[in-house]
Structure 1
Amino acid sequence: MARTRVRITSLLALTLSAGLTLTATGCGDSDSSDGPRAAGAKDGAPVVVATTTWEGAFAKAAGAENVKVIVPSSAQHAPDYDPRPSDLAAVAEADFVLYAPFEPYAEKIKEAAGSEAELVEQQLDNDPERVKAEVTRLGKLFGTRSAAARWNKSFDTEYATLRKDLKKAWPGGRSPAVVAQVYSAWSAKLAGADVVGTYGPEAVTARQLSDLSKKKPAFVLDNVHMSTGTVLPDSGARQIDIVNYPGKDLDLLAVYRNAATTVEKAMKAA
């Protein structure tokens, strides 16, 4: 994971002098035994700016107390968002800036970060093992290891419960065959489903359509943020919309609960 320090631009410095300031929200842990905090941290808690609620939820899970999210949770496709000058001003006030390399505005974020902001690149994925590893990594960076460890423990408990409940909902008591969009494959793992094929993020070709249909999946786990409509028309597969991004409350666990509820409903209706 790349971490880079860069200098604030002159234009942004003028913007900051006009009075644009950072507003911070969130909750976390302030156990001083976790080690040193960021040099610019307020009251021992680092100020974190995240490009989207996805990065923001990781920060909150890791124990960050002050989290500012740039892209509104209402944005259907976060990468299409165009950061405003006030957004970039917030970046310059941060101790840590979290972003994903696939976001087209990542370069603007890098240019806007002040000399004290540490840029943290994230490979966003809701796969459970990767999530826990990322929360642990951020906890070390923020000096909130104990909060991160507590969240990981609660995640393990919740995830196990959701998996158990979903298994009870398997049609006919058997693991269903599914096709999943590559960024929604984590939901298939959560459901204990048999992934017989994947697609995306590029558009599905006619050849892929034919090959995936031959697998005779019971469900298609689509990515609501990158959907191109019905993926396997006339195949008989029920399409399920999976949401990857948390809401404005930055509750990462809610993503799993919501996915479990959606998948369970579809399986019971099959």
Structure 2
Amino acid sequence: MARTRVRITVRITSLVALSASLPLLAGCGGEDTSASGDAPAPGSAGRKPVVVVTTTWEGAFAEAAGAEDITVIVPRSVHHAPDYDPKPSDLAAVAKADFVLYAPFEPYAAKIKEAAGSRAKLVEVNLDNDPAKAGAEVARLGALFGTKEAAARWKTRLDGEVARLNGELRAAWPGGRSPVVVTQVFTGWAAGLAGATTVGTYGPEPVTPAQLASLSAKKPTLVLDNAHMSTGTVLPDSGARQVEIANYPGEDLDLLTVYRDAATELKKAMGGGTA
């Protein structure tokens, strides 16, 4: 199980001020565990990669790829991670990391590394739970971490779990027919998991009146909303049932649980109980 530290932080404007204190933190004993210098490379015998991630989503990808020493900066409960930034102790962890993982929509990640004076490799992660894309990204991270075998084992588990859930969801189709759905731009993977027929997408901005009319006219039976970016009821009065899909895993960093939870919500929405 990955070792994680989760801390709520203050304001992003404090980042530069905090950076001034970090040379003192770095000089107070302790070994440099960055990927440079004379230390063994991550993934070599007796050398596990030290990974810092901005959120549990990146953390789940890191754990799937075989990382075990993972520090999470932003708690799962925070929906807008860029509104927060690290405490000095978190930045000290960044300073000792081999890898810092972030997403393109988290532009402060580079500032975190700069403020910490870290020599870690800054890695942009493609956060997409589409099984094929997730599997490819985990394999890429495994190659970076020197943990290819662990990443390959996880990919085998992912393929088996997705096949199982897809079979159960197809068996739960109302009347044996693929449900017609509208998805938020970041929940399309859940429609694929269910074998649903996607007739439209929306977001991340709120639905406009023109979009509302257009999407409602397609008569979807389900709307797959993003639980972390919800704008409320998407298609009111359309008769479509709205399903909240969570992309972020819990503090256990288990990405497979995200697929299981989505399947549970989809199966309930289709009238088949739990998955």
Relative to the length of structure 2, the TM-score reads: 0.84
Which residue pairs with 2:24 in the alignment?
14
Q: 1: distance between equivalents of 2:122 and 2:188?
A: 28
Equivalent residue in structure 1 for 2:162, among 159, 169, 173 = 159
Q: 1:61-210 counterparts in 2 under 5 A?
A: 61-210=64-213
Q: 2: distance between equivalents of 1:58 and 1:133?
A: 11
Determine if contact 2:95/2:113 at 8 Å carries over to the other structure.
no
Percent of matched pairs sharing the same residue: 66
Equivalent residue in structure 2 for 1:232, among 226, 232, 235 = 235
Give the aligned residue type for 2:49: P
Which residue pairs with 1:219 in the alignment?
222
Q: 1: distance between equivalents of 2:122 and 2:228?
A: 25
Q: 2: distance between equivalents of 1:45 and 1:246?
A: 23
Q: 2: distance between equivalents of 1:16 and 1:144?
A: 28
Q: 2: distance between equivalents of 1:179 and 1:158?
A: 24
Determine if contact 2:172/2:272 at 8 Å carries over to the other structure.
no
Q: 2: distance between equivalents of 1:15 and 1:227?
A: 40
Q: Describe the superposition over 1:245-268 as per-residue Cα deviations: whole angstroms up to 9, x where unpaired.
A: 010000000000000001101101
Determine if contact 1:83/1:105 at 8 Å carries over to the other structure.
no
Q: 2: distance between equivalents of 1:67 and 1:115?
A: 16
Paired residue secondary structure (1:268)? coil
Measured after TM superposition, the shift of residue 19 of structure 1 is 8.5
Paired residue secondary structure (1:183)? coil
Q: 2: distance between equivalents of 1:166 and 1:269?
A: 9
Q: Which moves more between the two structures, 144-153 or 99-108?
A: 99-108
Q: 2: distance between equivalents of 1:53 and 1:190?
A: 21
Give the aligned residue type for 1:14: L
Q: Describe the superposition over 1:189-237 as per-residue Cα deviations: whole angstroms up to 9, x where unpaired.
A: 0010000000011221111111111111000000010001000001000
Which residue pairs with 1:29 in the alignment?
none
Q: 2: distance between equivalents of 1:42 and 1:225?
A: 39
Equivalent residue in structure 1 for 2:42, among 20, 24, 38 = 38
Paired residue secondary structure (1:229)? coil
Paired residue secondary structure (2:101)? strand
- Matched length: 249
Q: 2: distance between equivalents of 1:264 and 1:200?
A: 24
Determine if contact 1:225/1:243 at 8 Å carries over to the other structure.
yes
Which residue pairs with 2:4 in the alignment?
none
Determine if contact 2:97/2:118 at 8 Å carries over to the other structure.
no
Q: Which ranges of structure 1 fall in alignment gaps of 5 or more residues?
A: 1-7, 22-35
Determine if contact 2:22/2:117 at 8 Å carries over to the other structure.
no
Q: Which ranges of structure 2 fall in alignment gaps of 5 or more residues?
A: 1-17, 32-39
Paired residue secondary structure (2:71)? strand
RMSD: 2.5
Which residue pairs with 2:62 in the alignment?
59
Determine if contact 1:178/1:194 at 8 Å carries over to the other structure.
yes
Q: Which moves more between the two structures, 229-238 or 116-125?
A: 116-125
